[in-house]
Amino acid sequence: MEQQIKMDRRAFVAAVGASGLFAPRSMAKPARGGAATAVLNEIQDVRRHGALGNGTTRDDAAFQAAVDSLPESGGMIHIPPGTYLRTEPTNTRGKPILFAGSGQGATFLKVGHPDNDMFVHSGVDSAQFRDFTLFHSVQRTGGAYIRIDPGAGKIAYSSTIERVRMYGHYVGIDLVRCSDTRIRDCPMIGNARSYACVLLRNLTNADSGDNSISGCFFSGVGGAGIRQESSGGLRLLDNKFNGLVDSFVLCPQYKGHTTSILIIQGNSFENASRYNILLQKGADDSIFTYGSIIGNEFGYTPIAICVSSDGNIFQDFIISSNIFAIPENGTAIVLDGGNTFSVKNNLFRGISNSGDSIKRTKNELNPQIEGNIIKNLNS
C-alpha cells in the first residue's frame, strides 16, 4: 500500500509539476497582504482516508480526514477518478489547500444535499480547486459548491478555481471578502432554481478586490451568471454567457464605500431573458466609479446593457467598440441614472427595424454619445 501511494504521488507531481505548484519553499510566491501561498510538499489522497468514489457511499468523512491530516502550512488533497457522494461541507480550517481532481471527465463530486456548502475555505491564505466536476443529485435551494470566507474583518487573498465544471448549483462559487481571486476555464450550468454561478459579496475595502474571471462558460435558465454585491475591482475577460436571466449584475450593497474598477472585455453575451449587463442601484450612498465595457458581442437579449440608478452611484464608464445584435422590439443600451457614461464607436444592428440602439432618460447625467454605427433600427 505504501509503495502504491508513493507511486501515485510521483505520477501526480509529474502531471502537474509544470504549472509551478511544487516549487521549493524558497521560491513560493507570497500572496498579497503578507499571506503565503500553499507550499505543496504535503499530499493526502482521499482514498487513503476511506473514500470509495462509488457514487452511493457518502465520502464526506474521508474528505475531512484528509484535510485534517495536513499540517497548518497546508498542502494538496488528491481526488482520484471516481464519483464521490457528498452531503456535508469539507472545511479547510483555514489551511491553504489545493483540492486537485484527475480531470473534469474523471473526478465527479455528486452533491446530495439541498443547501449545504460543499467546500468551505475559512483562511486568509489561498485555496485552490482544480480539475473535477460537481453535479447535483437533489434540487439545490441554497448554499454554494465552493465558498471562500475568511470571516468578518479579514480578506482572503489569491485563491484560484480553474477547470472545475459545475451543474445544477444554487450558487456555484461564493466569494465572501475575497481579493485577487482567479476563476478560469470553468463551465457552470445552472437551472431554474439557481441564484448565481458566481457571487461576490461582503468585501467593504474599496482598495481590495481585483478579482478576475476568464475563459468560463455560464449558462442556465435561471439566475445570474455573475452577481457582484461587494466593493473592489473585477475583470471579466473572454467569457461566454448564454441563456441566463441576467448575465452580469452589479448591485453594490454596502453603504459608504466608494469602489472601482470594472473591466468587461472580449466576452460573448447571448440569449439572456432580461439583461446581459445590469448596473443596478443598491445601497443609497454606495458609489462605483470607473468601468469599461469594451470589445464584447451582445446578441438577442431584450436589453443588452441597462444602467438603473439615480445619477450618483455609477460614474465614469466607457462603453466602446462593442457589437450589438438587437432583436425585434429590443434595446441595446438603456441609460437611466448613470453619470458621465461615454458610449462611442459601437456597432448596433437590428434583426428588424423595430429595435433601438440607445435610450436615455432625464436621470442620466452628462452622457457622451458619438461615433456609433446604427443599422436597421428605429434609432
Domains of the chain and CATH, by start: 79-375 (2.160.20.10)
Q: Would you write out the chain's pLDDT as a tens digit for each of its 379 residues?
A: 333 333 344 444 444 443 444 333 332 333 444 334 445 579 999 999 999 999 999 999 999 999 999 999 999 999 999 999 999 999 999 999 999 999 999 999 999 999 999 999 999 999 999 999 999 999 999 999 999 999 988 999 999 999 999 999 999 999 999 989 999 999 999 999 999 999 998 876 666 668 999 999 999 999 999 999 887 789 999 999 999 999 999 988 776 666 668 999 999 999 999 999 999 987 666 788 889 999 999 999 999 999 998 767 888 999 999 999 999 999 999 999 889 999 999 999 998 878 899 999 988 889 999 999 999 888 7
The continuous run of DSSP H or E covering 196 comes out as strand 196-201
Per-residue confidence (pLDDT) for residue 258, from 0 to 100 = 63
Closest by Cα among 344, 349, 263, 227 to 299: 349
Q: Are strands 156-157 and 119-121 parallel, antiparallel or unpaired?
A: unpaired
* Distance (Å) of CA 312 to CA 21, 178, 315: 45, 26, 7
Q: Which pLDDT does position 319 carry in this prediction?
A: 97
pLDDT given for residue 98 in this prediction: 97
* Per-residue pLDDT at 34: 39
Tell me, rounded to whole angstroms, the distance of Cα 227 from its chain centroid: 8
What's the confidence (pLDDT) of residue 73? 93
Give the C-alpha separation, 159 to 125, whole Å: 8
272/268 Cα distance (integer angstroms): 11
pLDDT of residue 56: 97
Q: Looking at the whole model, is its pTM more than 0.85?
A: yes
Residue 206 has what pLDDT? 61
On the CB side of 34, how many CA atoms lie within 13 Å of its CA?
Answer: 1
